[in-house]
Amino acid sequence: MDIGLRMGLVETADSVPTFASAGLEGRGAAIAGIAHSSWEYLAALLEHRPEVQVLVLSEDDWPAKGRVELFGLPNASEGTLVVAGTEAGWWPDLAAMAGDDRQAELATVYGEPDGRLHLGDFFDLVAVHEVAHLFCEGTVVFPRMWLGEFFANLALHAWVARQATDSLDTLTTLPRLAAQGSGDAFEHRSREAFERLYSSIGGPNYVWYQFRLQVAAAALYDRIGEVAVRKLFDAFRIEGGTDRDSEQFDESIDDATLAARLSAAVDPTLGDFSLAF
């Protein structure tokens, strides 16, 4: 963990070390609460307690301290969770994925009195997704990039369903409606492209993949509950720890073998999804 990233930021009091850009202390405190609650939940569920820190950044601080170029795209690595402390300009554009005929439903959940959509609360929840990634570092190696992302979405959905039920609509509405679209507007739509390009795919296109994974994760949770999180974590846990990346394409495991492993270790529906995604 690089504690030097904290320099110039304001510490927010919480058991999970959280540091915010000047002027964003309130946002830092709110996100710190989400990070702390989700960390405690996952630590108990997975019997694992990694060290983490949270950075809540302004757009000005993002280039020097963020781990991805695009401001507003939450990310985590080496024990550090980075989130935006203000709304990113591209967030409202995600509503177009839902199609014109579903905008009214989006407005009921995310609409503001001025008619604009506010997606800040949705992206605050995505902090839990990134916390889940940090639980995997040095402990789990998923043999596909998409599977590591699926796990993080599954952990996110489980935490909201168990600890923040009032936020279920906020979490699920946009991904559900966006995933119903064809994705024809995006250059990349295949599982192979996701594995090959991953985070270089580009913001909205990458988020479209994440929405599909979020919907599938919700379906698995609804089927077998929070035990799915522990089962998937344990299925790829490396005893004694590892220096390998927590998600990477492992060509020694073909798709059929992976599907069979997921079906046996977690649930048959996840095996089926691994071939259809």
For 8-30, what is each residue's pLDDT tens digit? 899 987 678 999 999 999 999 99
Residues in the chain: 277
Quote the CA–CA distance of 59 and 57 in Å, as a whole number.
7
62: three-class secondary structure by DSSP: helix
pLDDT score for 189: 86
Quote the CA–CA distance of 28 and 12 in Å, as a whole number.
6
pLDDT score for 261: 97
Q: What are the angstrom distances between the C-alpha of 46 and each of 65, 135, 233?
A: 29, 9, 8
Mean pLDDT of the chain: 91
**The residue type at 203:** G
- Per-residue pLDDT reduced to its tens digit, 157-181: 999 999 999 999 999 999 999 988 7
Indicate whether 264 pLDDT > 90: yes
Mean pLDDT of 244-262: 89
pLDDT score for 14: 67
Dmax over Cα atoms in the chain, in whole Å?
Answer: 54
- Residue 2: is it exposed, middle or buried by C-beta count within 10 angstroms (0-12/13-18/19+)? exposed
Quote the CA–CA distance of 37 and 164 in Å, as a whole number.
10
Residue 183 pLDDT grade (very low, low, confident, very high; cuts 50, 70, 90): confident
Mean pLDDT of 114-123: 88
3-state helix, strand, coil in the chain (%, to 5): 60, 10, 30
- Per-residue pLDDT reduced to its tens digit, 72-117: 988 998 999 999 999 998 898 888 888 888 899 999 999 988 878 8
User: Starting from the edge strand earliest in sequence, which strands make up the sheet with 53-57, in order?
Assistant: 10-12, 18-20, 53-57, 80-84, 75-77
DSSP state of 59: T
pLDDT score for 67: 84
209, two tokens: 């993949």
Q: How far apart are the first and last CA of the chain?
A: 33
Quote the CA–CA distance of 59 and 277 in Å, as a whole number.
34
135: three-class secondary structure by DSSP: helix
35, two tokens: 């990070």
- Per-residue pLDDT reduced to its tens digit, 189-215: 889 999 988 878 877 888 899 999 999
Residue from 251, 177, 255 nearest 214 by CA: 177
Share of the chain above pLDDT 90, in %: 65
